[in-house]
Structure formats: structure tokens, C-alpha cells
Amino acid sequence: MAPSLKAPGSEPFIAPVIEAPALDLAPVEVADPVEPAPVIEAVAEAMEQTLDTAEVATTEAVETAKALAKPVVEAAVETVEATADDLTLLVGIGPKLAVALAELGVTRFAEIAAWGAKDLAKFDNQLNLKGRAERDAWVAQAERLAAL
């Protein structure tokens, strides 16, 4: 039975059933079947040659990129080493804490000298200093060392 739709207060609407025409499904004959093996072999050979070429090109590209990147990385390291201050000169900062500060982007006395109360609280919290930066007067020490 067809679905029935009814608006409130009206007679139900019954959708008509439409039948599709029958299809003639006569068998179809294939004139000359294609043998897939030679086609597959040709495609596989072409793909293999392409992959060999791509692998060589990729290896060469990687080696070239490494060769080009090496001097850039060395220059960047030299620049960072040249611009970084020895934060262990501040009383209360040892080698481990200096590395932790560097990981947070603090490598210069001038940066510590510019810290305000919010910065002190932020780094105290991040590094679990328990007030050490204020007790050891890192900002005042850094101001003196940055002036040298």
C-alpha cells in the first residue's frame, strides 16, 4: 500500500504507485577478449622504472638538502652562542636552571633585567623556583651584568 499523508482537518492523500517498464536483458557477446597479462606487465614495468628514477631523485634531493642546511644550522648555532650570556654567573642559577631558562627563550642578562613582577611570577611558576629569583635578586644582578 502507498504511503498516506494527511494534513490536519483534511482527507488523506495517497500517492500513486508507478511501475517501471521491464528491461530487455539479452546476453551480450564479447567479440575479442583482451588478454590482461601483457597490459599488466607493461604497466608494472613502467611503474618500476618510474620508482627507480624517483628513488634516485629523492636520495639526491635529501643529500643536497642536508648539504645546503649544514652551513645554515652551524651559522645559527654560532649566532645563538655569540648572543647568549652565561646565566650561571647569576647567584642562584646553575647549569640545569640555565638550560631550563634557555628552553623558555631566556638567554640574555638584559632579558632578565627587564622582568617585572608578572614575569618573575610566571617564571617562578614554570620553573618551580619557590621565590628564588626574588630572594637572589636576579633582576638586579642581571642589570649589573648586562651593563658590563
Percent of the chain with pLDDT over 90: 39
Per-residue pLDDT tens over the stretch 65-97 = 777 767 766 766 666 555 788 999 999 999 999
Give CA separation, 89 vs 48, 51, 94, 111, in Å. Answer: 62, 57, 8, 14
Per-residue pLDDT tens over the stretch 60-72 = 777 777 777 677 6
Instruction: Check residue 97 and give its pLDDT.
Output: 93
Mean pLDDT within 34-52: 68
Higher pLDDT, 137 or 64: 137
